[in-house]
Structure 1
Amino acid sequence: MTKTIAFVLYPGLTPLDLVGPLQVMAGMATVDPSFDVVVVGSDLAPVETDTLVKLTPTHTFDQVTEPFAVIVPGGTAGAFAALADESLLSWIRHVARTAEIVGSVCGGSLILGAAGLLHGRPATTHWASRDLLRKFGAMPVTERWVEDGPVITAAGVSAGIDMALHLVARLAGEQVARTVQVMIEYDPEPPLGGIDWNSDVPEAIEPQVQAMMELGLADHPELLARLTS
Protein backbone atom coordinates (compact mmCIF):
# COMPACT_ATOMS: atom_id res chain seq x y z
CA MET A 1 0.00 0.00 0.00
CA THR A 2 1.12 3.54 -0.76
CA LYS A 3 2.07 5.52 2.33
CA THR A 4 0.78 9.08 2.04
CA ILE A 5 2.76 11.91 3.62
CA ALA A 6 0.50 14.95 3.98
CA PHE A 7 1.84 18.48 4.38
CA VAL A 8 -0.64 21.00 5.75
CA LEU A 9 -1.42 24.37 4.18
CA TYR A 10 -3.11 27.21 6.07
CA PRO A 11 -3.10 30.99 5.57
CA GLY A 12 0.04 32.81 6.70
CA LEU A 13 2.41 29.84 6.95
CA THR A 14 6.16 30.17 6.33
CA PRO A 15 6.93 28.60 2.92
CA LEU A 16 10.32 27.12 3.83
CA ASP A 17 8.75 25.34 6.83
CA LEU A 18 6.72 23.36 4.30
CA VAL A 19 8.82 23.36 1.12
CA GLY A 20 12.11 22.34 2.78
CA PRO A 21 10.91 19.04 4.28
CA LEU A 22 8.50 18.51 1.36
CA GLN A 23 11.45 18.58 -1.05
CA VAL A 24 13.23 15.98 1.06
CA MET A 25 10.18 13.72 1.28
CA ALA A 26 9.48 14.12 -2.44
CA GLY A 27 13.05 12.98 -3.06
CA MET A 28 12.38 9.88 -1.00
CA ALA A 29 9.20 9.21 -2.98
CA THR A 30 11.21 9.44 -6.19
CA VAL A 31 13.59 6.76 -4.97
CA ASP A 32 10.94 4.68 -3.16
CA PRO A 33 7.54 4.82 -4.92
CA SER A 34 5.80 3.19 -1.95
CA PHE A 35 5.59 6.75 -0.57
CA ASP A 36 3.37 9.51 -1.93
CA VAL A 37 3.56 13.18 -0.96
CA VAL A 38 0.52 15.47 -0.96
CA VAL A 39 -0.24 19.00 0.20
CA VAL A 40 -3.61 19.44 1.90
CA GLY A 41 -5.76 22.47 2.61
CA SER A 42 -9.34 23.39 3.37
CA ASP A 43 -9.95 23.76 -0.40
CA LEU A 44 -7.86 23.85 -3.57
CA ALA A 45 -7.49 27.63 -3.76
CA PRO A 46 -4.01 29.21 -3.55
CA VAL A 47 -3.07 30.07 0.03
CA GLU A 48 -1.35 33.28 1.14
CA THR A 49 1.92 32.80 3.02
CA ASP A 50 4.00 35.18 5.13
CA THR A 51 6.09 35.98 2.03
CA LEU A 52 5.12 37.19 -1.44
CA VAL A 53 4.44 33.69 -2.79
CA LYS A 54 1.22 31.71 -2.63
CA LEU A 55 1.03 27.91 -2.32
CA THR A 56 -1.67 25.65 -3.72
CA PRO A 57 -2.88 22.38 -2.16
CA THR A 58 -3.04 19.19 -4.18
CA HIS A 59 -5.86 17.78 -2.03
CA THR A 60 -8.49 18.96 0.43
CA PHE A 61 -8.76 17.83 4.04
CA ASP A 62 -11.82 15.80 3.10
CA GLN A 63 -9.83 13.87 0.49
CA VAL A 64 -7.02 12.85 2.85
CA THR A 65 -8.40 11.21 5.97
CA GLU A 66 -5.86 8.52 6.87
CA PRO A 67 -2.35 9.64 5.89
CA PHE A 68 0.66 7.64 6.99
CA ALA A 69 2.29 10.89 8.12
CA VAL A 70 1.18 14.49 8.60
CA ILE A 71 3.56 17.45 8.81
CA VAL A 72 2.38 20.86 10.05
CA PRO A 73 4.52 23.90 9.17
CA GLY A 74 4.79 27.06 11.22
CA GLY A 75 4.35 30.69 10.37
CA THR A 76 4.22 34.15 11.89
CA ALA A 77 0.84 35.74 12.68
CA GLY A 78 -0.83 33.06 10.56
CA ALA A 79 0.41 30.27 12.82
CA PHE A 80 -1.11 32.00 15.84
CA ALA A 81 -4.38 32.48 13.97
CA ALA A 82 -4.32 28.75 13.18
CA LEU A 83 -4.41 28.00 16.92
CA ALA A 84 -8.07 29.07 16.84
CA ASP A 85 -8.98 27.39 13.53
CA GLU A 86 -11.16 24.56 14.80
CA SER A 87 -11.66 23.00 11.36
CA LEU A 88 -7.88 22.68 10.97
CA LEU A 89 -7.38 21.44 14.53
CA SER A 90 -10.20 18.92 14.14
CA TRP A 91 -8.65 17.47 10.99
CA ILE A 92 -5.26 17.20 12.67
CA ARG A 93 -6.78 15.43 15.67
CA HIS A 94 -8.62 13.03 13.37
CA VAL A 95 -5.63 12.02 11.25
CA ALA A 96 -3.34 11.83 14.30
CA ARG A 97 -5.40 8.90 15.59
CA THR A 98 -4.08 6.62 12.86
CA ALA A 99 -0.99 8.37 11.47
CA GLU A 100 2.32 6.70 12.25
CA ILE A 101 4.08 10.06 12.17
CA VAL A 102 2.70 13.40 13.37
CA GLY A 103 5.29 16.10 12.74
CA SER A 104 5.75 19.83 12.81
CA VAL A 105 8.25 22.47 11.84
CA CYS A 106 8.84 25.68 13.79
CA GLY A 107 5.55 27.12 15.10
CA GLY A 108 3.66 24.14 13.72
CA SER A 109 4.28 22.51 17.08
CA LEU A 110 2.09 25.15 18.72
CA ILE A 111 -0.69 24.04 16.36
CA LEU A 112 -0.14 20.43 17.41
CA GLY A 113 -0.30 21.67 20.99
CA ALA A 114 -3.57 23.48 20.35
CA ALA A 115 -4.92 20.23 18.91
CA GLY A 116 -4.12 18.54 22.22
CA LEU A 117 -1.32 16.33 20.89
CA LEU A 118 1.66 17.51 22.95
CA HIS A 119 0.47 17.18 26.54
CA GLY A 120 3.24 15.58 28.58
CA ARG A 121 5.53 15.26 25.57
CA PRO A 122 8.96 16.81 24.96
CA ALA A 123 8.71 19.19 22.02
CA THR A 124 10.57 21.98 20.30
CA THR A 125 9.79 24.93 18.07
CA HIS A 126 11.37 28.22 17.00
CA TRP A 127 13.52 29.49 19.87
CA ALA A 128 11.49 32.70 20.21
CA SER A 129 8.30 30.75 20.94
CA ARG A 130 9.72 27.74 22.77
CA ASP A 131 8.35 28.65 26.20
CA LEU A 132 4.83 28.91 24.75
CA LEU A 133 4.83 25.13 24.42
CA ARG A 134 4.25 24.95 28.18
CA LYS A 135 0.85 26.56 27.64
CA PHE A 136 -0.19 23.35 25.88
CA GLY A 137 1.26 20.98 28.46
CA ALA A 138 4.41 20.18 26.48
CA MET A 139 7.95 20.03 27.85
CA PRO A 140 10.11 22.41 25.77
CA VAL A 141 13.56 21.12 24.75
CA THR A 142 16.43 22.86 22.97
CA GLU A 143 17.02 20.45 20.09
CA ARG A 144 16.93 20.60 16.29
CA TRP A 145 14.20 17.96 16.46
CA VAL A 146 12.77 15.69 19.13
CA GLU A 147 10.74 12.48 18.87
CA ASP A 148 8.23 11.10 21.35
CA GLY A 149 6.20 8.15 20.13
CA PRO A 150 4.60 9.06 16.80
CA VAL A 151 5.18 12.80 17.36
CA ILE A 152 8.26 14.55 16.01
CA THR A 153 8.75 18.32 16.26
CA ALA A 154 11.47 20.43 14.66
CA ALA A 155 12.86 23.80 15.68
CA GLY A 156 12.86 26.91 13.50
CA VAL A 157 12.48 26.85 9.70
CA SER A 158 15.69 25.18 8.41
CA ALA A 159 15.50 22.52 11.13
CA GLY A 160 12.62 21.05 9.14
CA ILE A 161 15.10 19.84 6.52
CA ASP A 162 17.16 18.09 9.20
CA MET A 163 14.03 16.48 10.63
CA ALA A 164 12.92 15.32 7.20
CA LEU A 165 16.29 13.73 6.40
CA HIS A 166 16.12 11.95 9.76
CA LEU A 167 12.67 10.64 8.86
CA VAL A 168 13.84 9.45 5.44
CA ALA A 169 16.67 7.52 7.09
CA ARG A 170 14.17 6.00 9.50
CA LEU A 171 11.58 5.12 6.85
CA ALA A 172 13.67 4.19 3.82
CA GLY A 173 17.17 3.65 5.16
CA GLU A 174 20.32 5.69 5.56
CA GLN A 175 21.44 5.21 1.97
CA VAL A 176 18.22 6.70 0.63
CA ALA A 177 18.58 9.62 3.04
CA ARG A 178 22.14 10.23 1.87
CA THR A 179 20.99 10.03 -1.74
CA VAL A 180 18.30 12.65 -1.10
CA GLN A 181 20.80 14.86 0.74
CA VAL A 182 23.09 14.77 -2.29
CA MET A 183 20.16 15.34 -4.67
CA ILE A 184 19.29 18.60 -2.92
CA GLU A 185 22.97 19.37 -2.22
CA TYR A 186 22.22 19.98 1.43
CA ASP A 187 25.64 20.76 2.90
CA PRO A 188 25.19 24.00 4.85
CA GLU A 189 28.08 26.41 5.12
CA PRO A 190 26.63 29.75 6.31
CA PRO A 191 28.83 32.62 5.12
CA LEU A 192 28.98 34.04 8.65
CA GLY A 193 29.42 30.69 10.35
CA GLY A 194 27.08 29.07 12.83
CA ILE A 195 24.83 30.86 15.29
CA ASP A 196 26.37 32.10 18.52
CA TRP A 197 23.43 31.60 20.86
CA ASN A 198 25.11 33.70 23.54
CA SER A 199 25.34 36.84 21.44
CA ASP A 200 23.38 36.54 18.18
CA VAL A 201 19.88 36.35 19.66
CA PRO A 202 18.18 39.76 19.31
CA GLU A 203 16.89 41.24 22.55
CA ALA A 204 13.89 42.79 20.81
CA ILE A 205 12.33 39.50 19.70
CA GLU A 206 9.83 39.21 22.59
CA PRO A 207 7.83 42.30 21.53
CA GLN A 208 7.78 40.98 17.95
CA VAL A 209 6.35 37.63 19.07
CA GLN A 210 3.79 39.48 21.18
CA ALA A 211 2.81 41.58 18.17
CA MET A 212 2.38 38.48 15.99
CA MET A 213 0.21 36.84 18.64
CA GLU A 214 -1.95 39.92 18.98
CA LEU A 215 -2.37 40.17 15.20
CA GLY A 216 -3.12 36.48 14.68
CA LEU A 217 -5.48 36.18 17.64
CA ALA A 218 -7.16 39.58 17.46
CA ASP A 219 -10.57 37.88 17.20
CA HIS A 220 -9.82 35.38 19.98
CA PRO A 221 -9.02 37.38 23.13
CA GLU A 222 -9.46 34.42 25.50
CA LEU A 223 -6.82 32.35 23.72
CA LEU A 224 -4.54 35.38 23.50
CA ALA A 225 -4.89 35.93 27.23
CA ARG A 226 -4.06 32.28 27.87
CA LEU A 227 -0.84 32.50 25.85
CA THR A 228 0.28 35.76 27.42
CA SER A 229 -0.64 35.09 31.04
Structure 2
Amino acid sequence: MIDNQRRSLVIGALLAPLAASMLPNASAAEKPVHAHDMPGMGPDMDKVPWMGDEQIAMLVYPGMTVMDLVGPHCMFGSLMGAKIYIVAKSLDPVTSDAGLTIVPTDTFETCPRDLTVLFTPGGTDGTLAAASDAETLAFMADRGARAKYITSVCSGSLILGAAGLLKGYKATSHWSCRDALSGFGAIPTDARVVRDRNRITGAGVTAGLDFGLSMVAELRDQTYAECAQLMSEYNPDPPFNAGSMKTAPQKVKTAMVDLVADFTKKAEALASETKG
Protein backbone atom coordinates (compact mmCIF):
# COMPACT_ATOMS: atom_id res chain seq x y z
CA MET A 1 0.00 0.00 0.00
CA ILE A 2 2.75 2.41 0.96
CA ASP A 3 4.78 1.48 -2.12
CA ASN A 4 1.79 2.19 -4.37
CA GLN A 5 1.26 5.55 -2.74
CA ARG A 6 4.90 6.48 -3.23
CA ARG A 7 4.79 5.41 -6.86
CA SER A 8 1.73 7.62 -7.34
CA LEU A 9 3.62 10.59 -5.93
CA VAL A 10 6.49 10.00 -8.34
CA ILE A 11 4.19 9.68 -11.33
CA GLY A 12 2.30 12.78 -10.26
CA ALA A 13 5.45 14.81 -9.78
CA LEU A 14 6.88 13.79 -13.13
CA LEU A 15 3.80 15.08 -14.89
CA ALA A 16 5.61 18.37 -15.12
CA PRO A 17 2.72 20.65 -16.08
CA LEU A 18 0.72 19.37 -13.12
CA ALA A 19 3.54 18.97 -10.63
CA ALA A 20 2.80 22.15 -8.72
CA SER A 21 -0.77 21.11 -7.98
CA MET A 22 -0.19 17.40 -7.46
CA LEU A 23 2.90 17.70 -5.29
CA PRO A 24 3.28 21.21 -3.83
CA ASN A 25 6.80 22.51 -3.41
CA ALA A 26 8.11 22.43 0.12
CA SER A 27 8.19 25.82 1.81
CA ALA A 28 11.55 27.43 2.51
CA ALA A 29 11.14 26.55 6.17
CA GLU A 30 10.49 22.89 5.46
CA LYS A 31 13.34 20.57 4.60
CA PRO A 32 11.92 17.66 2.59
CA VAL A 33 12.62 14.08 3.56
CA HIS A 34 15.18 12.53 1.24
CA ALA A 35 14.05 9.17 -0.10
CA HIS A 36 16.71 7.64 -2.31
CA ASP A 37 14.98 4.43 -3.23
CA MET A 38 11.68 3.25 -4.64
CA PRO A 39 11.05 -0.29 -3.39
CA GLY A 40 9.59 -2.73 -5.84
CA MET A 41 10.69 -0.86 -8.97
CA GLY A 42 13.78 -2.91 -9.72
CA PRO A 43 17.45 -2.70 -8.69
CA ASP A 44 18.28 0.23 -10.96
CA MET A 45 15.18 2.26 -10.16
CA ASP A 46 15.69 1.68 -6.43
CA LYS A 47 18.83 3.83 -6.62
CA VAL A 48 17.18 6.84 -8.29
CA PRO A 49 17.34 9.98 -6.07
CA TRP A 50 13.64 10.83 -6.21
CA MET A 51 13.62 13.60 -3.59
CA GLY A 52 15.73 16.74 -3.27
CA ASP A 53 15.70 20.23 -1.83
CA GLU A 54 16.95 22.43 -4.66
CA GLN A 55 16.38 26.18 -4.50
CA ILE A 56 15.72 27.45 -8.02
CA ALA A 57 15.26 31.14 -8.89
CA MET A 58 13.84 32.00 -12.32
CA LEU A 59 14.02 35.66 -13.31
CA VAL A 60 11.02 37.20 -15.08
CA TYR A 61 10.79 40.66 -16.63
CA PRO A 62 8.54 42.58 -19.05
CA GLY A 63 8.99 41.56 -22.67
CA MET A 64 10.63 38.19 -22.00
CA THR A 65 9.86 35.27 -24.33
CA VAL A 66 7.57 33.11 -22.25
CA MET A 67 8.62 29.80 -23.85
CA ASP A 68 12.14 30.48 -22.58
CA LEU A 69 10.66 30.37 -19.08
CA VAL A 70 7.94 27.74 -19.43
CA GLY A 71 10.08 25.05 -21.09
CA PRO A 72 12.70 24.96 -18.31
CA HIS A 73 10.01 25.48 -15.64
CA CYS A 74 8.17 22.42 -16.95
CA MET A 75 11.28 20.31 -16.37
CA PHE A 76 12.30 21.97 -13.09
CA GLY A 77 8.74 21.34 -11.92
CA SER A 78 9.34 17.59 -12.13
CA LEU A 79 11.97 17.81 -9.37
CA MET A 80 10.25 16.42 -6.30
CA GLY A 81 11.05 18.51 -3.24
CA ALA A 82 12.55 21.42 -5.17
CA LYS A 83 11.41 24.98 -4.50
CA ILE A 84 10.99 27.26 -7.52
CA TYR A 85 10.95 31.03 -7.11
CA ILE A 86 9.58 33.20 -9.93
CA VAL A 87 11.48 36.40 -9.25
CA ALA A 88 10.91 39.97 -10.45
CA LYS A 89 11.58 43.51 -9.29
CA SER A 90 8.10 43.56 -7.74
CA LEU A 91 5.13 41.23 -7.35
CA ASP A 92 3.26 43.02 -10.12
CA PRO A 93 2.20 40.76 -13.02
CA VAL A 94 4.81 40.54 -15.78
CA THR A 95 3.68 40.46 -19.40
CA SER A 96 5.74 38.56 -21.96
CA ASP A 97 6.54 39.71 -25.49
CA ALA A 98 3.58 37.67 -26.78
CA GLY A 99 1.15 39.07 -24.21
CA LEU A 100 1.01 36.17 -21.75
CA THR A 101 1.14 37.37 -18.15
CA ILE A 102 3.11 35.71 -15.36
CA VAL A 103 2.66 36.47 -11.65
CA PRO A 104 5.95 36.50 -9.70
CA THR A 105 6.20 34.71 -6.37
CA ASP A 106 9.17 36.67 -5.03
CA THR A 107 11.06 39.92 -5.41
CA PHE A 108 14.77 40.62 -5.54
CA GLU A 109 14.60 41.25 -1.79
CA THR A 110 12.67 38.10 -0.79
CA CYS A 111 14.44 35.63 -3.09
CA PRO A 112 16.78 33.37 -1.08
CA ARG A 113 20.40 34.47 -1.11
CA ASP A 114 21.86 31.00 -1.56
CA LEU A 115 20.52 29.21 -4.61
CA THR A 116 21.05 25.89 -6.31
CA VAL A 117 20.11 27.34 -9.70
CA LEU A 118 19.94 30.93 -10.94
CA PHE A 119 18.13 31.16 -14.28
CA THR A 120 17.08 33.83 -16.74
CA PRO A 121 14.99 33.59 -19.90
CA GLY A 122 15.57 35.69 -23.00
CA GLY A 123 13.60 37.85 -25.40
CA THR A 124 14.37 40.85 -27.59
CA ASP A 125 13.80 44.46 -26.54
CA GLY A 126 12.65 43.36 -23.08
CA THR A 127 15.88 41.45 -22.60
CA LEU A 128 18.00 44.40 -23.67
CA ALA A 129 16.11 46.54 -21.15
CA ALA A 130 16.66 44.00 -18.37
CA ALA A 131 20.34 43.70 -19.30
CA SER A 132 20.63 47.47 -18.90
CA ASP A 133 18.72 47.71 -15.63
CA ALA A 134 20.95 48.35 -12.61
CA GLU A 135 18.66 46.61 -10.08
CA THR A 136 18.29 43.50 -12.24
CA LEU A 137 22.02 43.25 -12.85
CA ALA A 138 22.80 43.80 -9.16
CA PHE A 139 20.41 40.98 -8.24
CA MET A 140 21.88 38.61 -10.82
CA ALA A 141 25.46 39.40 -9.82
CA ASP A 142 24.70 38.97 -6.14
CA ARG A 143 22.88 35.65 -6.41
CA GLY A 144 25.26 34.49 -9.11
CA ALA A 145 28.20 34.98 -6.78
CA ARG A 146 26.92 32.09 -4.64
CA ALA A 147 24.63 29.99 -6.86
CA LYS A 148 25.72 26.43 -7.58
CA TYR A 149 24.60 26.77 -11.20
CA ILE A 150 24.26 29.96 -13.27
CA THR A 151 22.01 29.39 -16.26
CA SER A 152 20.00 30.88 -19.10
CA VAL A 153 18.07 30.09 -22.25
CA CYS A 154 18.08 32.04 -25.50
CA SER A 155 19.17 35.69 -25.24
CA GLY A 156 18.96 35.42 -21.47
CA SER A 157 22.70 34.89 -21.69
CA LEU A 158 22.97 38.60 -22.54
CA ILE A 159 21.71 39.31 -19.02
CA LEU A 160 24.26 36.92 -17.53
CA GLY A 161 26.97 38.59 -19.60
CA ALA A 162 25.90 42.10 -18.61
CA ALA A 163 25.98 41.01 -14.96
CA GLY A 164 29.59 39.90 -15.38
CA LEU A 165 28.78 36.22 -15.00
CA LEU A 166 30.15 34.85 -18.27
CA LYS A 167 33.70 36.21 -18.44
CA GLY A 168 35.97 33.42 -19.57
CA TYR A 169 33.11 30.93 -20.00
CA LYS A 170 31.77 29.19 -23.08
CA ALA A 171 28.10 30.04 -23.60
CA THR A 172 25.37 29.92 -26.19
CA SER A 173 22.34 32.01 -27.01
CA HIS A 174 19.80 32.56 -29.76
CA TRP A 175 21.59 32.61 -33.12
CA SER A 176 20.66 36.27 -33.59
CA CYS A 177 22.83 37.45 -30.70
CA ARG A 178 25.20 34.58 -29.90
CA ASP A 179 28.25 36.33 -31.31
CA ALA A 180 27.54 39.38 -29.13
CA LEU A 181 28.51 37.30 -26.09
CA SER A 182 32.17 37.83 -26.94
CA GLY A 183 31.70 41.47 -25.97
CA PHE A 184 31.05 40.32 -22.40
CA GLY A 185 34.23 38.27 -22.35
CA ALA A 186 32.38 35.02 -23.01
CA ILE A 187 33.24 32.42 -25.64
CA PRO A 188 30.28 32.10 -28.06
CA THR A 189 29.57 28.44 -28.73
CA ASP A 190 27.17 27.07 -31.34
CA ALA A 191 25.38 24.22 -29.56
CA ARG A 192 21.92 23.42 -28.25
CA VAL A 193 23.10 23.29 -24.63
CA VAL A 194 26.53 24.45 -23.51
CA ARG A 195 28.14 23.67 -20.19
CA ASP A 196 31.34 25.26 -18.95
CA ARG A 197 31.94 24.41 -15.31
CA ASN A 198 28.86 25.68 -13.47
CA ARG A 199 27.59 27.85 -16.33
CA ILE A 200 24.91 26.05 -18.33
CA THR A 201 23.25 27.91 -21.18
CA GLY A 202 20.64 26.93 -23.75
CA ALA A 203 20.23 28.19 -27.31
CA GLY A 204 17.04 29.74 -28.67
CA VAL A 205 13.55 29.30 -27.20
CA THR A 206 12.71 25.59 -27.63
CA ALA A 207 16.23 24.66 -26.54
CA GLY A 208 14.84 25.39 -23.07
CA LEU A 209 13.35 21.89 -23.03
CA ASP A 210 16.72 20.30 -23.79
CA PHE A 211 18.34 22.62 -21.26
CA GLY A 212 15.71 21.69 -18.67
CA LEU A 213 16.21 17.96 -19.13
CA SER A 214 19.97 18.41 -18.94
CA MET A 215 19.52 20.27 -15.64
CA VAL A 216 17.23 17.55 -14.24
CA ALA A 217 19.88 14.97 -15.07
CA GLU A 218 22.54 17.17 -13.49
CA LEU A 219 20.55 17.75 -10.30
CA ARG A 220 19.33 14.14 -9.95
CA ASP A 221 20.47 11.60 -12.54
CA GLN A 222 19.81 10.39 -16.07
CA THR A 223 17.08 7.95 -15.09
CA TYR A 224 15.12 10.67 -13.32
CA ALA A 225 15.49 12.93 -16.36
CA GLU A 226 14.36 10.13 -18.66
CA CYS A 227 11.28 9.63 -16.50
CA ALA A 228 10.51 13.35 -16.80
CA GLN A 229 11.05 13.18 -20.56
CA LEU A 230 8.70 10.23 -20.94
CA MET A 231 5.96 11.74 -18.78
CA SER A 232 6.29 14.97 -20.78
CA GLU A 233 6.22 12.87 -23.98
CA TYR A 234 9.04 15.03 -25.26
CA ASN A 235 9.77 13.31 -28.55
CA PRO A 236 10.11 16.13 -31.10
CA ASP A 237 9.16 15.40 -34.68
CA PRO A 238 8.74 18.82 -36.32
CA PRO A 239 6.84 19.08 -39.61
CA PHE A 240 9.62 21.18 -41.15
CA ASN A 241 13.41 21.11 -41.03
CA ALA A 242 13.86 24.85 -40.58
CA GLY A 243 14.65 25.03 -36.87
CA SER A 244 18.34 25.75 -37.28
CA MET A 245 20.53 28.11 -39.27
CA LYS A 246 22.23 24.95 -40.50
CA THR A 247 19.07 23.42 -41.98
CA ALA A 248 16.63 26.24 -42.80
CA PRO A 249 16.11 27.17 -46.48
CA GLN A 250 18.16 30.15 -47.60
CA LYS A 251 15.10 32.33 -48.23
CA VAL A 252 13.91 31.66 -44.66
CA LYS A 253 17.31 32.49 -43.20
CA THR A 254 17.52 35.70 -45.19
CA ALA A 255 14.08 36.82 -44.09
CA MET A 256 14.73 36.12 -40.41
CA VAL A 257 18.21 37.67 -40.37
CA ASP A 258 16.71 40.82 -41.87
CA LEU A 259 13.87 40.76 -39.34
CA VAL A 260 16.16 40.65 -36.30
CA ALA A 261 18.97 42.81 -37.71
CA ASP A 262 18.11 45.73 -35.43
CA PHE A 263 18.05 43.50 -32.34
CA THR A 264 21.39 41.97 -33.31
CA LYS A 265 22.97 45.42 -33.61
CA LYS A 266 21.52 46.49 -30.26
CA ALA A 267 22.80 43.32 -28.55
CA GLU A 268 26.29 43.91 -29.94
CA ALA A 269 26.17 47.54 -28.84
CA LEU A 270 25.09 46.52 -25.33
CA ALA A 271 27.96 44.07 -25.07
CA SER A 272 30.42 46.65 -26.33
CA GLU A 273 29.19 49.26 -23.86
CA THR A 274 29.31 46.81 -20.97
CA LYS A 275 32.83 45.76 -21.89
CA GLY A 276 33.89 49.36 -22.07
Q: TM-score, normalised by structure 2?
A: 0.73
From 220, 224, 246, the counterpart of 1:172: 220
Q: Say which SS state the counterpart of residue 260 (structure 2) adopts.
A: helix
Greater RCO structure (CA 8 Å; 6+ sep):
1
Counterpart code for 1:23: C
- 8 Å contact kept, 2:119–2:152: yes
- 8 Å contact kept, 1:12–1:50: yes
Question: Counterparts in 2 of 1:30-69, with a 5 A limit?
Answer: 32-33=80-81, 35-64=82-111, 65-69=113-117
Q: Which runs of 4+ in 1 moved over 6 A?
A: none
Moved more, 178-187 or 7-16: 178-187
- 8 Å contact kept, 2:181–2:271: no
Please say if 1:21 is aligned against 2:72: yes
**Residues of 1 paired with 2:150 and 2:272: CA distance?**
28
The aligned counterpart of 2:34 is none
* CA distance 1:87–1:213, shift in 2 (3 Å): farther
Please say if 1:212 is aligned against 2:268: no
Percentage of identical aligned residues: 38
* CA distance 1:135–1:46, shift in 2 (3 Å): same
The alpha-carbon deviation at position 170 of structure 1 amounts to 1.4
The aligned counterpart of 1:10 is 61
From 59, 82, 91, the counterpart of 2:139: 91
Larger Rg: 1 or 2? Answer: 2
**Residues of 2 paired with 1:52 and 1:11: CA distance?**
10
**Residues of 1 paired with 2:162 and 2:180: CA distance?**
11
The alpha-carbon deviation at position 207 of structure 1 amounts to 4.2
Please say if 1:76 is aligned against 2:119: no
The aligned counterpart of 2:36 is none
The alpha-carbon deviation at position 224 of structure 1 amounts to 8.1
Moved more, 138-147 or 185-194: 185-194
The aligned counterpart of 1:136 is 184
Q: Which ranges in structure 2 are unaligned for 5 or more consecutive residues?
A: 1-30, 32-52
The alpha-carbon deviation at position 194 of structure 1 amounts to 5.9
- 8 Å contact kept, 1:102–1:151: yes
**Residues of 1 paired with 2:171 and 2:241: CA distance?**
26
Q: Which ranges in structure 1 are unaligned for 5 or more consecutive residues?
A: none
The alpha-carbon deviation at position 172 of structure 1 amounts to 1.0
For the aligned residue pairs, the C-alpha RMSD in angstroms reads: 2.1
Q: TM-score, normalised by structure 1?
A: 0.88
**Residues of 2 paired with 1:54 and 1:211: CA distance?**
26
**Residues of 2 paired with 1:26 and 1:185: CA distance?**
15
Q: Say which SS state the counterpart of residue 104 (structure 1) adopts.
A: strand
The aligned counterpart of 1:162 is 210
The aligned counterpart of 2:194 is 146
Counterpart code for 1:22: H
